[in-house]
Amino acid sequence: MAGIISYGAYIPLWRLSRDAIAEAWGSASTRGERSVANNDEDTITMASEAAIDCLAGLKRERVDGLYFASTTSPYKEKECSTLVAMAADLRPEIITADFGNSLRAATAAFRAALDAVVSGSASQVLVTASDCRIGYPRSNYEQTFGDAAAALLISNTARPAVMVEGSHSLSNELYDVWRLDKDIYVQSWEERFIIEHGYTENMERAISGLLRKKALSVQDITKAVLYAPTSRAQQGLARRLGFDVKTQLQDLLISNVGITGCAHALLMLVAALEEAKAGDKILVASYGSGCDAFLLSVTKEVEKVKGNRRGVKGYLNSKRPLSSYARYLSYRGLLEPQPGEPFRLFPAATTSWRERNWAIRMHGSKCKNCGTVTFPIERVCYNCRSKDNFEEVRLSDRKARVFTFTLDNLAGRSDDPTIPQVGVEFDYQNTRTYLPMTDCDPGEVKVNMPVEMTFRKLYEGAGMYNYFWKCRPIR
């Protein structure tokens, strides 16, 4: 049976209070807080986090496909799924594809993954969805949007954690929200029109169609995971369909995360699965120029995944307040930070390619003669000088601690002037390396502090983004 065998999520550490946005503009606050990706995060790094969360404890070599869905990919031309797959240390012999442009990109990827495992062209496909959309300054969207990523591992297996029992889709050509190829901010038509004739009408048709197809009534559904641009739209739809808003409607995550673009339906689904029991029927519907609706059935296998993932619950509780609206603007590149001293060495396609196994996969070398582990990969052993006699070992999922550090006031940029530079020691063979620390208060850094690895964007140079690993306090 085709279904979901694991799930993962990622929500950035930083949360911006909507009151802070409203205060900056003298406008009304929609209350609560929204997640904000750090200045070293983008949809590739967030998708990598969700992918790695989803793969915790699983054999990564069994994954033979990775899809990346986003409307805010850092690249217009260049595949991102390949980079996410490499950061997640998947095999090279896999299928990859990027899904974009639509708020339904993630459910399109989900459907494609299901089709792939059912047809037999792949046995396990990891679907990642990640978005970081920007609303116009002072617009409602600026307050309601959030940044996050989600991941689902799809397989055709006898006992998936979640079985996919049916689906129904419809396509609808409509200008409700859009961005031109040169736009930074999301444009939209008048809300009353787009909610009524866009969101509500299409979602209602698709969901009713699915229930009819499966000969089910709304009472048969344990949880309805309904994407929506606002709480009001979601509740209005739920009432029209006949759901009990109090018991059957999955929380929209708007008060504490925000609407996270194409990732949102999957993010809500992950949150639903974290609370699901065997036998639950879950209805998932995403919206964007049409609608994709899926009927899911939870099995007892879900218990093996629950509690072993950070997931939405873990990342929701791990948060820090972003100190100001100005910082948000700077993190999103809307205000340009003073860059600090220039980077001396720009990325090069050749070096990025040659160094991919240590720089992106975070592999170290373990000497087959003496067992010494070094990062980056050393062809000649530091200890015994054996040449080309090593195996690669992944360090990205290892815990580590601060061995020594400095709080460097010369290395940062104006919106993050102090960079903790850390000599870390992994919990493996006294392996050491040198990483900046991110997502932290520099004042909390101490010798022996536990840290974990996180894949981040380092800087832009030579017309490319340059990615590498950093450490962060354990979330």
Partner 1 sequence: MESIKDKVAIIGMGCTKFGERWDAGLDDLAIEAAYEAYEDAGIDPKDIQACWYGSVTQPVVGIGCTHLAGPLKLHGIPMSRVENWCTTGHEALRNACFGVACGMYDLVLVLGVEKLKDTGFPGLGTGRGMSTVLEARRTAPGSFGMIATRYFYNYGLSPEEGKRIIGKIAVKNHYNGSLCPKAHFHNQVTLEQVMNAPIIAWPLGLFDCCGNSDGGAAALLVPASQARKYRDDPIYIKGIGAAHDALLPQNRPAFDWLHFEEVINSSRQAYEQAGVKHPREQIDIAEIHDCFTSTELLLYELLGFSPEGKAKEDIDSGFFELGGGLPVNSDGGLKCFGHPVGASGLRMTYEVYKQLQGKAQSPERQLKDAKLGISQTFGGPPQVAAVAVLGKEPGYP
**379-413 CB burial, b ≥16 within 10 A, e <16:** eebeeeeeeeebeebebbebebbbbebeeeeebbb
**Least gap, CB of 39 to partner 1 (angstroms):** 13
**Least gap, CB of 369 to partner 1 (angstroms):** 14
Gap between the Cα atoms of 88 and 61, Å rounded = 11
Cβ proximity to partner 1, 288 vs 420, nearer residue:
420
Rg of the chain over all Cα atoms, to the nearest angstrom: 22
Contact 329, 335 (CB under 8 A): yes
Cβ proximity to partner 1, 337 vs 376, nearer residue:
376
Q: Does 466 bind partner 1 (CB under 8 A)?
A: yes
Of residues 75, 136, 185, 343, which one binds partner 1 by CB under 8 A?
A: 343
Q: Does 382 bind partner 1 (CB under 8 A)?
A: yes
Cβ proximity to partner 1, 279 vs 450, nearer residue:
450
With contacts defined by CB under 8 A, name the span among 7-15, 119-127, 186-194, 409-417 that binds partner 1.
409-417
Q: For residue 246, what are the contacts with CB-CB under 8 A and spacing of at least 6?
A: none
Cβ proximity to partner 1, 219 vs 350, nearer residue:
350
Q: Does 419 bind partner 1 (CB under 8 A)?
A: yes
Contact 420, 405 (CB under 8 A): yes
Cβ proximity to partner 1, 148 vs 422, nearer residue:
422
Of residues 217, 308, 409, 414, which one binds partner 1 by CB under 8 A?
A: 409
Tell how strand 124-131 and strand 65-70 pair up. Answer: parallel
DSSP 69-127: EESS-S-SSS-SHHHHHHHTT--SSSEEEEEESSTTHHHHHHHHHHHHHHHTS-SEEEE
With contacts defined by CB under 8 A, name the span among 150-158, 289-297, 393-401, 462-470 that binds partner 1.
462-470
Q: Does 67 bind partner 1 (CB under 8 A)?
A: no
DSSP 382-433: TTT--BS-EEEEE-TT--EEEEEEEEESSSSBTTB--EEEEEEEESSTT-EE
**Least gap, CB of 373 to partner 1 (angstroms):** 7
Q: Does 351 bind partner 1 (CB under 8 A)?
A: yes
Q: Site residues (CB under 8 A) for partner 1? A: 340-348, 351-352, 355, 359, 372-376, 378, 382-383, 403-412, 419, 421, 423, 429-434, 436, 442, 447, 458-459, 461, 466-468
